[in-house]
Amino acid sequence: MKVLVPVKRVIDANVKVRVKADQTGVELTNVKMAMNPFCEIAVEEAVRMKEAGTATEVIVVSAGAQQAQETIRTGLAMGADRGILILSEASLEPLAVAKLLKAVVEKESADMVLMGKQAIDGDNNQTGQMLAALLGWPQGTFVSKIEKADGGLKVTREVDGGLENVALKLPAVVTVDLRLNQPRYASLPNIMKAKKKQIDTMTPEDLGVDASPRLTVLKVVEPPARKAGVKVADVAELIDKLKNEAKVI
């Protein structure tokens, strides 16, 4: 089984995000970047599937600027076999990414797409579902457990009401949640080996995809600062404020 794992380069989760002075976007200059945490979990699961003999090849693919190659190298150091970079300097929206991934899936004849449920920058949670619709494949989203069963997959989804078990036929698209696994740290020998692994580069034009943006960002602003709280002397004063000021009871 050939597994395709899309990964995204985002601002490191531990870095405070700052808005540009001209409010045209988020400041990326001299900012530490890293692989999206949900994508890391997807790479880890794909590598574990290969180690268990379930998967035969793990391909990491990323769409974006040339620097996204660093993110692909991280996936290769974790154990993926090879990488694909879809080179684009334009801002790629979820639908454009889904179309690009569909073209790569068809080009590579992948049997499964294993990806993060969302990226921590846009927080859209759209690409996986759009990709499944474009391919006409079954999908399992917000997955916290994956098992191979009856020639397909059995996945456990995290939903509002608890857990849901779903059987999927392959090929399928699976988007992963935080509790699926704990990603490994790449060892120094594997980091060195990753430098020699193959990364193919292509463009949206090569794949026959129009990735031009459909949306225009007018302005990016920081959320308002949180107001200070109010201390009350006793329960009676709290109830009075909730009733007469907040008017919630």
pLDDT digit string, tens, across residues 72-107: 999 999 999 999 999 998 889 999 999 999 999 999
pLDDT score for 234: 94
Flag whether 230 is in a domain.
no
Flag whether 203 is in a domain.
yes
Residues of the chain with pLDDT under 50: none
Flag whether 232 is in a domain.
no
Flag whether 16 is in a domain.
yes
Tokens representing residue 63 in the block:
């769409």
Three-state secondary structure call for residue 90: coil
Q: What pTM was computed for the model?
A: 0.86
Split into its structural domains, the chain has a count of 1
Host domain of residue 133: 2-224
Distances, alpha carbon 131 to alpha carbons 27, 30, 111, 128, in Å: 29, 33, 14, 5
Flag whether 154 is in a domain.
yes
H/E stretch holding 214: none
C-alpha span between 239 and 98 (Å, rounded): 51
* CATH number of the domain bearing residue 180: 3.40.50.620
Flag whether 99 is in a domain.
yes
Flag whether 231 is in a domain.
no
Flag whether 240 is in a domain.
no
Question: Torsions phi, psi of 145, nearest 5?
Answer: -160, 135
List, for residues 170-184, the tens digit of each pLDDT value. 999 999 999 999 999
46: closest CA among 84, 1, 12, 16? Answer: 1
